[in-house]
Amino acid sequence: METLVMPAINFAAIMPETILSIVAMVLLLLNVFVPGEQKAYLAYLSLIGIVVAFFSVVSGWNAPLPMQEGFNGSVLQDNFSLFFKAIFLISAGLAVLISDHYMVKEECNYGELYPLILFATAGMMLMASGTDLMTIFLGLEVLSVSLYVLAGYNRSNIKSNEAGLKYFLLGAFSTGFLLYGMALTYGATGTTKIAKIASAAALDATLSSNPMFVVGMLLMAVGFSFKIAAAPFHMWTPDVYEGAPTPMTAFMSAGPKAAGFAAFIRVLMVAMPTLKADWSDLLWILAVLTMTVGNIIALSQNNIKRMLAYSSIAHAGYALVGFTAGNGEGTAGILFYMLSYAFMNIGAFAIIILVGKKGEPNNNVEDYAGFGVKHPVLAMIMALFLFSLAGMPPTAGFVGKFYLFSAALKSGYVWLVVIGVLNSAASCYYYLRVMVYMYMKDPVEEFDWMKLSPAIWASIAISAVGVIVPGIVPSIILQLAQKAILL
């Protein structure tokens, strides 16, 4: 008797995505029945969903290959994608924790927020584990469409409207480039599967000089650069980050950026190893531009959200340094860095949320004058996040930067690293400025409007632990990152 051959659908490979999507849909339904003042329950439910998804991510670690593959090879839940999925879940969880406080304060607690965060996270996951251009595109769009709404979520606030609209127009525009790139790559290789593109490139040496393939790669690089906000494709970032509701800014700068890197890395490293010399040069330029532009403009920012937006551009630049290295160390460095960045950045934004009044008229650096006197513990934690962003030891930010830079040095990119290091020194200035105001200026305000809720405390505490512990004992995470790199 012949056994029935099942189609190669393996739900285990998209288990976390499935969990999140189901929870999100249930929440959407529940939202109709939950009255306005009890929307916090939706946050708790979504946290449960995130925790369950996290467990499924953990249980998938080191699974045998047949368990990883699904949907006829369109998704691959390997360690690489699992590490990224953990980053996404952590940033989503922290974003949910800091959201309720903000949404109540800004009076836009509509409740759809939480399902949207979950959908966005599912999209990111699909991007990280997609091994087919189609899956990556789909994941990217699930993410982007959710993010457009999240950026414009505070619909009565003009800044938020602008952020949403701007993000939407530029995001859709960049998607066009990405898609065109995918189409041309498909035309040159006859497939949309990344592994098959790689084998086509390996078999056919002329492919690397085929204009269709090269232009396809370039267009895809442009599309991904938009998503990770690499200069010169970063113009949307500051406005969107400044205008979006602060918890969503925190979320966007951590999760989706990592997702962009995940897909970018997989496409370039796996599909186009034959073109490595070319894309390394390209990434070199991109990295230098991104770091320098981000840092230089950040120097002159007064609005702290905007400053962190530019700094997040600079941080993408540091990650690109590791990407340029093109070796396993570099990839592991990016994994480690993205994880640390999620903690330190969301932590800093959590404190910005706490300090902000309704409508956030007080987001300027000057508004932090004397914060260290009035709230010594919170200020100390903020200083910790800022030092980590600046790359001072003993924080996760330092270890991450160290990892990235040493990977690039190993590949011989001395000048790139020198530029990175000088950038890093310059970046100290604007992080120090916040500390100067927090500690060295006399208080103007009493900071008595600040309300500390348990959720926001939890998010700050988790972030602080996530910054300090990997800074002192990074071995475990380094080992995980090492096991998670692509070949």
Stretch that binds another protein, among 8-16, 91-99, 166-174, 265-273 (CB under 8 A): 166-174
Q: How far is the CB of 440 from another protein (least distance, A)?
A: 4
**Of residues 116 and 230, the one with the C-beta less far from another protein:** 116
CB of 47: closest distance to another protein in angstroms?
Answer: 25
| Shorter beta-carbon distance to another protein: residue 77 or 424 | 424
The yes or no reply on residue 180 touching another protein (CB under 8 A) is: yes
Is residue 173 involved in binding another protein (CB under 8 A)? yes
Would you count residue 8 as binding another protein (CB under 8 A)? no
Window of 1-9, 203-211, 362-370, 420-428 that interacts with another protein by CB under 8 A: 420-428
Q: Which span (18-26, 134-142, 245-253, 455-463) binds another protein, by CB under 8 A?
A: 134-142
Choice from 373, 458, 468, 469 touching another protein (CB under 8 A) = 373
Q: Which stretch binds another protein (CB under 8 A): 17-25, 100-108, 174-182, 282-290?
A: 174-182
Contact track, another protein, 22-41, x by CB under 8 A: --------------------
Interface segment toward another protein; rule CB under 8 A; list 83-91, 135-143, 246-254, 363-371: 135-143
Residue 165 is a binding residue for another protein (CB under 8 A): yes
The first and second tokens of residue 11, run together, are 């739900």
The nearer residue to another protein, 172 or 461, going by C-beta atoms, is: 172
Residues of span 427-486 touching another protein by CB under 8 A: 428-429, 432, 435-436, 439-440, 473-475, 478-479, 482
Q: How far is the CB of 3 from another protein (least distance, A)?
A: 27
Amino acid identity of residue 75, one-letter, is: V
Nearer to another protein, 63 or 215 (CB): 215
Task: For the CB of residue 435, give the shortest distance to another protein in the complex, in Å.
Answer: 8
Of 70, 111, 223, 238, the one binding another protein by CB under 8 A: 238
HEC string of the chain equals CCCCCCCCCCHHHHHHHHHHHHHHHHHHHHHHHCCHHHCHHHHHHHHHHHHHHHHHHHHHCCCCHHHHEECCCCEECCHHHHHHHHHHHHHHHHHHHHHHHHHHHCCCCCCCHHHHHHHHHHHHHHHHHECEHHHHHHHHHHHHHHHHHHHCCCCCCHHHHHHHHHHHHHHHHHHHHHHHHHHHHHHHHCCCEHHHHHHHHHHCHHHHHCHHHHHHHHHHHHHHHHHHCCCCCCCHHHHHHHHCCHHHHHHHHHHHHHHHHHHHHHHHHHHCHHHHHHHHHHHHHHHHHHHHHHHHHHHCCCEHHHHHHHHHHHHHHHHHHHHHHCCHHHHHHHHHHHHHHHHHHHHHHHHHHHHCCCCCCCCEHHHHCCHHHHCHHHHHHHHHHHHHHHCCCCCHHHHHHHHHHHHHHHCCCHHHHHHHHHHHHHHHHHHHHHHHHHHHCCCCCCCCCCCCCHHHHHHHHHHHHHHHHHHHCCHHHHHHHHHCCCC
Q: For the window 376-415, what string marks contact with another protein as x by the rule CB under 8 A? A: xx---------x----xxx---x---x--xx--xx-----
Interaction of residue 58 with another protein, rule CB under 8 A: no
Q: CB-wise, 152 or 256, nearer to another protein? A: 152
Query: Which of 58, 425, 444, 452 contacts another protein by CB under 8 A?
Result: 425
Residues 262-321 that bind another protein (CB under 8 A): 297, 306
